[in-house]
Amino acid sequence: MVHTVSSRTQPDLGSAHVLVVEDEPFIAYDLILAVEDAHGLPVGPAATVLEALDLIGSHKIDAAILDVTLSDGTVGPVLEALEKTGVPIVLHTATPQSSGLSDRFPQVAVYTKPTAVAVLTRHLAKQLQR
């Protein structure tokens, strides 16, 4: 499911540990700041699939914001690892249709770049409240 939403209200992540996987440094920094602004605790950022899997294995993860295409491949293995935990996940991608991940993981929200980072954290906040 691909979403387009405005960024009007400030989300509250309630101290949730949010995994940030993004290989573009400026976008990763924006995501980290957005998680902090929403009262979340960022985990990462991870710039590769391997780094993300390491963080999943060594940190508490309550939610995740994932870029789809990383320097070492698509984020599929990270999605598989997180799917087992049932945490809310947001995919943030420039090309939502090209990866095929939305077919394999239909429950995961997909937002196209550029989407305001507050929209991503708001989505996670709503999912965490359920």
**Interval 91-102: pLDDT, tens:** 988 876 656 777
Residues 6 or more apart whose CB falls under 8 angstroms from that of 105 comprise 79, 83, 89
pTM of the model: 0.88
Least confident of 62-66, 77-81, 95-99: 95-99
Kindly state the tokens that stand for 7.
């960024």
Mean of pLDDT values over 25-54 = 96
Contact call for residues 51 and 27 (beta carbons, < 8 A): no
Cα dihedral 87, 30, 70, 17, rounded to 10, equals -20
Report whether pLDDT(62) > 70.
yes
Model pLDDT, residue 94:
83
Tokens (6 digits) for 32 = 């980290």
Which residues contact residue 95 at a Cβ distance below 8 angstroms, ignoring those fewer than 6 apart? 68, 69
Average pLDDT, the chain: 88
pLDDT at 32 over 60: yes
pLDDT at 29 over 90: yes
- pLDDT at position 101, please? 73
The CATH code that applies to domain 2-129 is 3.40.50.2300
Domain ranges for the chain, please list them. Answer: 2-129
